[in-house]
């Protein structure tokens, strides 16, 4: 079913009842981290412990369940639920033409935000919320967050290493070498939402436009633009709280659509070139706005505009 640096995943059947399961074989390493959990006297491999903790409490369908696990000298095997028929969101987007409409994206984003928030409430930082780690049932549209291999115990102090996927990493980590768990999770949710709606990761210029309320895909609702901006603020302190996301107005349909005449010229230029920015129109319009702002605000905008963090 899948292969990576961790090992390999196979499809299987549970002997006692024939239940379809996923068997994840993880190779042990010398520096493999183990942690204690309340119900286990001996430390467990971190991925197993985090998956158990994330499922502690009332069942949340959006979080993958660990059914069992076995220990072996050079590897361990995780027996996980295997939703069917399903695919990850990369495949789902591709099958839907490269991007999703708002109604479809709304259903997905709510579930992902809910799963990520529950994990944090249970003391687990997933740290790799991305399209590849989100499975969607093709019949029910139920989404599941999988793979806690890059995760950690949620703590109040900052993290100084990032083990997730670079394209989803928060800007504060690249600038200051540290980040906090919840705001970083909010950022990764913003990247997921942007990719679902636009079919690509946000460029530096997309992020610049979002910061200053100038980004909007033609036909996108005002509430959708507002949520995207709230998730992808450069400053972690300005981002929407993780627990507040599912209460945002975007999830309260119907939403008002931005008329084409309201879409900024920069966004129209971007749309007309099928995803490729028209540098002359965009840059001229942007610098015109900058020159109109105060000296202090101009300095901030120039700093953001000149960032060199190209993530693909």
Residues belonging to the binding site are 24, 81
Per the annotation, the verdict on 132 as an active-site residue is no
Residue 67 CA to residue 178 CA, distance in Å, equals 34
Burial of 47 (0-12, 13-18, 19+ CB in 10 A): buried
- Contact 252/192 with Cβ under 8 angstroms? no
Q: In sequence order, what DSSP letters do the residues of 227-289 get, joined into one string?
A: HHHHHS-SSGGGSPPGGGGGGSGGGSS--PBPPGGGS-HHHHHHHHTTT---HHHHHHHHHHH
Of the candidates 254, 271, 255, 135, the one whose C-alpha atom is nearest the C-alpha of residue 198 is 271
CA angle 157, 116, 198 (to 5 degrees): 115
Task: Exactly one of 68, 128, 204, 297 is catalytic; name it.
Answer: 128
Question: Does residue 62 sit in helix, strand or coil?
Answer: coil
- CA distance linking residue 262 with residue 80, whole number of Å: 48
59 and 114 Cβ atoms separated by less than 8 Å: no
| CB contact burial 258-277 (16+ within 10 A = b; e otherwise) | beeeebbebbbbbbeeeeeb
Neighbouring CB atoms inside 10 A of 59's CB total: 7
Residue ranges at the known binding site for ATP: 24, 81
What SS3 state is found at 104?
A: helix
* Residue 133, helix vs strand vs coil: helix
Give the residue numbers annotated as catalytic, written as ranges.
128
């Amino acid at each position: 079913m899948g292969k990576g640096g961790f090992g390999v995943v196979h499809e299987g059947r549970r002997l006692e009842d024939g239940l379809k399961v996923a068997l994840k074989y993880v190779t042990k390493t010398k520096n493999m981290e183990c942690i204690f959990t309340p119900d286990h006297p001996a430390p467990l491999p971190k991925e197993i412990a985090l998956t158990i903790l994330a499922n502690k409490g009332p069942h949340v369908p959006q979080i993958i369940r660990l059914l069992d696990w076995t220990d072996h000298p050079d590897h361990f095997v995780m027996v996980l639920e295997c939703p069917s028929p399903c695919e990850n969101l990369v495949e789902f987007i591709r099958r839907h033409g490269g991007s999703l409409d708002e109604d479809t994206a709304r259903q997905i984003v709510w579930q992902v935000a809910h799963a990520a928030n529950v994990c944090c409430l249970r003391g687990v930082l997933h740290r790799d919320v991305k399209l590849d780690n989100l499975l969607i049932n093709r019949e029910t549209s139920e989404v599941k967050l999988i793979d806690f291999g890059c995760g950690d115990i949620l703590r109040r102090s900052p993290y100084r290493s990032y083990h997730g996927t670079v394209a989803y990493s928060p800007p504060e980590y690249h600038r200051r070498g540290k980040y906090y768990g919840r705001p970083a999770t909010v950022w990764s949710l913003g990247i997921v939402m942007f990719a679902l709606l636009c079919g690509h990761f946000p460029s530096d210029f997309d992020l610049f436009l979002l910061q200053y309320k100038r980004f909007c895909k033609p036909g996108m609702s005002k509430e959708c633009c507002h949520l995207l901006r709230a998730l992808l603020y450069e400053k972690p302190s300005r981002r929407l709280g993780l627990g507040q996301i599912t209460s945002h107005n975007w999830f309260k349909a119907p939403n008002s659509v931005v008329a084409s005449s309201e879409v900024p010229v920069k966004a129209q230029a971007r749309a007309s070139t099928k995803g490729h920015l028209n540098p002359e129109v965009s840059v001229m319009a942007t610098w015109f706005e900058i020159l109109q702002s105060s000296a202090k605000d101009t300095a901030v905008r120039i700093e953001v505009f000149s960032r060199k963090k190209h993530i693909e």
